[in-house]
């Protein structure tokens, strides 16, 4: 018996979200659509220039854990916050969603991570992340019984940015595989792929990772190709299963023997793309760990992603289980 469907591991980050126009991004040297890493000083400068904001718990894998739980799956999370106000907010929000979260918080500095997210009128989000307490996540934070007890252990490529989180991932993957479980990752961001290409490929080719999530630009960055199809064929060789998202074009699921195309859902109004990939992974992994066919896993991913981009903030405020039932996916 597994205790959890999905264990997610990631940078525990509170999002600070404001609107801006494209000129603001240019003036402030923010790469549009990307996750820009910043230090404490730049965080203060950008915040002083940021418009009125709202705060919402985020973090890529944390959003995925919340999505799995909202669908009715059993989710757990590892991520490092500090014992400050934002850390308390982070813990509240993820536990209130029903996710098991027991990583010991730091007592003291650095503070809980925050990402200033600027949403442009086209709905695209540009993130500016101060990692704060996330830099302290390490192998000592791996709870063995969760890593061995989850059907899938899922982590974000962003974890290669802090210094010791990769050690935690390798340890968690070892525990998971020793218990006959599977390990999954998201490539997170094309610039992140550029930073860690060889290590990510090694994770896949060494069998440390079984299931890979990517969007089109991350796939192309991984294989340094401008051809989407070439990227698909390459990733087919490198892992057991891959799901590649393409925004309004839906997603493509790649297994050794199959190529499945899944449509995106129709949306009324694109508000904020934050969390789209995270929620796709949530829907997919919920479907996967509940034994559904791969195309149904993709449809659950499309639904969860399509709902989160029609609101501000990275975690859906609708009950995903009810939404999936209404869409006749459950």
Q: Which residues bind a copy of itself (CB under 8 A)?
A: 18-19, 47, 50-57, 66, 84-86, 89, 92-94, 96-97, 311-313, 315, 317
According to the 3-state scheme, what is the secondary structure of the chain? CCCEEEEEECCCEEEEEEECCHHHHHHCCCCCCCEEECCHHHHHHHHHHCCCCEEEECCHHHHHHHHHHHCCCCEEEECCCECCHHHHHHHHHHHHCCCEECCCCECCCCCCEEEEEEECCCCCEEEEEECHHHHHCCHHHCCHHHHHHEEEEEEEHHHHCCCCHHHHHHHHHHHHHHCCCEEEEECCCHHHHHHHHHHHHHHHHCCCCCEEEEEHHHHHHHHCCCCHHHHHHHHHHHCCEEEEECHHHCEEEECCCCEEEECCCCCCCCCCCCCHHHHHHHHHHHHHHCCCCHHHHHHHHHHHHHHHCCCCCCCCCCCHHHHHHHCCCC
| Shorter beta-carbon distance to a copy of itself: residue 66 or 252 | 66
To a copy of itself, the closest distance from the beta carbon of 63 in angstroms equals 11
To a copy of itself, the closest distance from the beta carbon of 316 in angstroms equals 10
| Shorter beta-carbon distance to a copy of itself: residue 190 or 274 | 274
To a copy of itself, the closest distance from the beta carbon of 116 in angstroms equals 11
To a copy of itself, the closest distance from the beta carbon of 216 in angstroms equals 29
State how far the Cα of 78 lies from the Cα of 203, in Å rounded to an integer: 20
To a copy of itself, the closest distance from the beta carbon of 250 in angstroms equals 26
| Shorter beta-carbon distance to a copy of itself: residue 98 or 139 | 98
To a copy of itself, the closest distance from the beta carbon of 275 in angstroms equals 13
| Shorter beta-carbon distance to a copy of itself: residue 23 or 52 | 52
| Shorter beta-carbon distance to a copy of itself: residue 79 or 313 | 313
State how far the Cα of 248 lies from the Cα of 157, in Å rounded to an integer: 23
| Shorter beta-carbon distance to a copy of itself: residue 92 or 261 | 92
| Shorter beta-carbon distance to a copy of itself: residue 237 or 325 | 325
To a copy of itself, the closest distance from the beta carbon of 96 in angstroms equals 5
């Amino acid at each position: 018996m597994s205790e959890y469907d999905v264990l997610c591991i990631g940078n525990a980050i509170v999002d600070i979200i404001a609107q801006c126009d494209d000129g603001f991004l240019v003036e402030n040297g923010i790469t549009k659509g990307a996750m820009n890493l910043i230090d404490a000083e730049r965080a203060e400068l950008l915040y002083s220039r940021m418009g009125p904001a709202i705060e919402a718990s985020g973090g890529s894998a944390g959003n995925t854990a919340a999505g799995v739980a909202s669908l009715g799956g059993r989710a757990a999370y590892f991520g490092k916050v500090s014992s400050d106000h934002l850390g308390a907010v982070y813990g509240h929000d993820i536990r209130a969603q029903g996710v098991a979260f027991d990583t010991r918080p730091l007592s003291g500095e650095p503070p809980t991570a925050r990402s200033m997210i600027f949403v442009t009128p086209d709905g695209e989000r540009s993130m500016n992340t101060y990692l704060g307490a996330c830099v302290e996540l390490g192998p000592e934070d791996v709870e063995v019984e969760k890593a061995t007890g989850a059907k899938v252990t899922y982590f974000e490529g962003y974890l290669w940015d802090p210094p010791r989180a990769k050690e935690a991932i390798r340890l968690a993957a070892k525990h998971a595989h020793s218990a006959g479980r599977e390990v999954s990752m998201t490539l997170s961001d094309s610039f992140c792929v550029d930073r860690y290409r060889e290590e990510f490929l090694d994770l896949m080719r060494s069998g440390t990772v079984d299931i890979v999530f990517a969007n089109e630009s991350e796939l192309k960055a991984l294989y340094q190709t401008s051809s989407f199809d070439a990227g698909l064929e390459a990733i087919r060789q490198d892992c057991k299963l891959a799901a590649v998202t393409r925004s309004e074009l839906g997603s493509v699921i790649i297994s050794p023997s199959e190529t499945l195309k899944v449509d995106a859902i129709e949306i009324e109004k694109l508000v904020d793309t934050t969390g789209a990939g995270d929620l796709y992974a949530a829907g997919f992994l919920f479907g996967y760990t509940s034994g559904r066919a791969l195309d149904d896993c993709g449809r659950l991913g499309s639904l969860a992603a399509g709902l989160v981009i029609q609101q501000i903030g990275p975690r859906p405020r609708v009950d995903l289980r009810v939404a999936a039932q209404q869409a006749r996916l459950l």
